[in-house]
A and B are shown apart, each in its own frame.
Chain A
Amino acid sequence: MSQTMPEMLSDEERRALACVAGLMIPASAEYGVPGADDDAILADMVASLGRDGPAVRAALARLDALAGGRFAGLAAPERAAVAARLRAEGGPAVATLNRVVLQCYYRDDRVLASLGIEPRAPFPKGHALEQGDWSLLEPVRRRGKLWRDAP
């Protein structure tokens, strides 16, 4: 399991993470899903940061730099503009931030339920897979030998 270092983010950083996560994936009434800034999802992100902590902190620091102050303290339209600039800049820290948000969002029970996916680990239940129709191979069988003999 990834290491848990909940203390790795300061309160300011948590607020910034919540803001940017909410901009990435907002709640949707249409699909009946929370946003990525939902308390439980955010708590999962913070608790499971582990080795991604330094990169995420770097991305959050960059948000503050682009904001010219506290990103989380900006009004909503400015926040969105700054987040868009960060995304356009890209780079490894932003990719890690993106991944951390997505990997916690798409393992939330409510989100998986909205996608029709059972919220569970693959083991031990596994999945059912249809066998399929092996008569589809008939045309391939009819083609005869396709490999070369070697001297």
Chain B
Amino acid sequence: MADTVDVLIIGSGASGAAVAWSLAETKMRIVCLEQGDWMNPAEYPSTGRDWEARVHGDYATSPNIRARPTDYPINDDNSPIKVVNFNGVGGGTVMYTGHFPRLHPSDFRVRSLDGVADDWPVDYATLEPFFAENDRMMGVSGLAGDPAGPPRQPPMPPLPLGKTGTRWAQAMNTLGWHWWPSDTTLATQDYEGRARCINLGHCTPGCAQGAKASTDITYWPAAIRAGVELRTRCRVREITTNAEGMASGVVYYDAEGVERFQAAEVVILACNGVGTPRLLLNSASGRFPNGLANSSGLVGRNLMFHPYIQVYGYSDEPLDGNRGPPLCLWSKEFYETDPARDFVRGYMFQFNRGVGVINEAITSAADGRLPWGEDHHSAYRRLVHRRMSLSAVIEDLPEAHNRVTLDPVLKDGHGIPSPRIDYTVGENSRRMIAHGIARATEILHAAGAHDIGVQNPILYGGWHLLGTARMGTDPARSVVNEWGRSHDVRNLFIVDGSVFVTAGGVNPTSTIQALALYIADSMKRRLATLFD
């Protein structure tokens, strides 16, 4: 295994899969190392009667609770938002909900337009063909014509409105506010070998039907057919460098726990906004004492999560509950900066369909809505399948003190230092949150909901891991250049959510993958001069 490969990709998630597939056409020898396993959809929770219970166990979104041998623990005690992820072939896409908006053109120009943070070194127009290519590869359902974003042509029709969606739509029309059926990666028709969505309603912890586009069933089969080798249960400890200051390969532990070295001409990091800085910092050496690719000191800094708030209430009549994909509509009414508000930037609302019977019982018991004793049954019957909730995806600005470092004590099963998270919700975000809670409450009232409650922020809501190795043209103020190459190490690339300059106010995976395809394309165009 020590023979040199052309390209070594670390991580097989959203971005790792996309970059592997795109580079495969070069016929280079490409190997991907992934610490997790292949998934078996027959074992996903929705195949069993204990489907709701398992999200508190082996399908918990927090790696600290899930604690599979393939997970690494994360010290997030000093953060009001806990990291959630998945470690396996497909990475976070195994567990994502498949909500698939794109960043807006204005999101790439926040300094020029709004005077905060930094502009990106790429723009929407450059990424547009890669967004479209990714939509085709992942299989996106949605509806063209949304006035709140540049034109798009989703290859499949949108998810049904259902009873809950209809309520939301009517409420938004009453208020005169924007709403639109969400772009999602849930196939509403049979698509490229994937079966259509049959409303299992339990999309997040893996789709047993295969209707949700996780990259283990989209990009990976195509990449492997094209010759890419994917090695599972291989956890990378560090990236090594040679006397020229170039990456020479990686040290990793294989499935048996044996330490191995894999030499490579090019190393691509796709470990997400927490896993990538962790690995760079753990690759410190005499040559790179502050961690690899870290001459700017920015590796691990500017972590952005999108603080999520959820506001909920109860309808008088039963709605869809969990009997369909949880996310169905979005609103961009408050997305773009409005100088009349006391914050810059904005947020998207995502509307939820409802929750399952056990989830309702547990959440309501925790909130004190569900009594013990005789009254339990009548109270529960006023709650079950009546919950309406919506979340605001708050754009948090990059702040250097929000960061990923190596924990001095905590280690994973191979003795590799765990990431430690230090994060606080910024002032601009707080104002935006207050605005979001007030507007969401108006929406719930317009929808006829009562008994309004708020979760601020959603505790286990650190699903978007962004900004910790950002891109830019200035090596003093960024970690990678405008096409993903490290400023310091010219054969090291980063393609995951770490490279985001700002977070936008939407779920990021569509943009992460478009960027990965764009970086792969930039590499292919420059093969002869890649390290110049």
Contacts and interface: CB of A to CB of B under 8 A. Distances in A.
Given A24-B372, A99-B56, A144-B147, A134 B50 contact: no
B161 A131 contact: yes
Interface string B361-392: 11001100000111011000100100000000
Contact of B108 (A123, A134, A150): A150
Interface stretch (A6-14, A28-36, A67-75): A28-36
A107 B148 CA distance: 42
Interface string B263-298: 000000000000000000000000000000000000
Interface stretch (B162-170, B405-413, B453-461): B162-170
A127 B324 contact: yes
Given A25-B372, A144-B147, A2 B199 contact: no
A133 B166 contact: yes
B54 interface: yes
Nearest to A132: B161
A23 B372 contact: yes
A140 B49 contact: no
A107 B357 CA distance: 8
A123 B365 contact: no
B149 interface: yes
B403 to A, nearest CB: 28
A139 B148 contact: no
Interface in A115-151: 115, 117, 119-134, 136-137, 139-141, 143-151
Nearest to A107: B49
B438 interface: no
Given A2-B53, A99-B362, A103-B358, A148 B106 contact: yes
Contacts of A145: 147
A143 B332 CA distance: 13
Contacts of B162: 129-130, 132
Contact of A151 (B46, B109, B166, B202): B109
Nearest to A33: B377
Contacts of A141: 145, 147
B336 A121 contact: no
B362 A126 contact: no
B500 interface: no
A110 B359 CA distance: 18
Q: How large is the interface on B (under 10, 10 to 19, 20 to 34, 35 or more residues)?
A: 35 or more
The secondary structure that dominates the A interface is: loop
Given A25-B372, A151-B112, A48 B199 contact: no
A39 to B, nearest CB: 18
B145 to A, nearest CB: 6
A143 B170 contact: no
B106 A147 contact: yes
Interface string B332-346: 110111000000000
Contact of B46 (A2, A23, A123, A133): A123
B173 A136 contact: yes
A118 B165 CA distance: 23
Contact of B336 (A30, A87, A148): A148
Interface stretch (B8-16, B175-183, B304-312, B488-496): B175-183
Of the listed residues B47, B104, B178, B376, the one surrounded by the most CB atoms of chain A closer than 10 A to its CB is B376
A130 B200 contact: no
Contacts of B113: 148, 150-151
A106 to B, nearest CB: 5
B331 to A, nearest CB: 10
A19 to B, nearest CB: 12
Nearest to B372: A24
Nearest to B174: A139
A130 B147 contact: no
Contacts of A28: 374, 377
B178 A143 contact: yes
B51 interface: yes
Given A50-B57, A131-B160, A150-B123, A136 B199 contact: no
B357 A106 contact: yes
B433 to A, nearest CB: 22
Contacts of A98: 362, 365-366
Nearest to A100: B53
Interface in A57-115: 80, 83-84, 87, 95, 98-99, 102-103, 105-107, 112, 115
25 contacts: A1-B58, A80-B373, A115-B381, A120-B49, A123-B44, A125-B198, A126-B198, A126-B209, A127-B198, A128-B199, A129-B199, A129-B323, A132-B165, A134-B161, A139-B173, A140-B172, A144-B147, A146-B332, A147-B148, A147-B335, A148-B105, A148-B106, A148-B113, A148-B337, A150-B108
Given A23-B373, A122-B51, 16 more contacts: A23-B372, A99-B56, A103-B56, A115-B384, A119-B49, A120-B49, A121-B48, A123-B46, A125-B198, A129-B162, A129-B199, A134-B143, A143-B147, A146-B178, A150-B112, A151-B112
Q: Which 3 A-B pairs have the closest CB atoms?
A: A132-B161, A126-B198, A127-B323
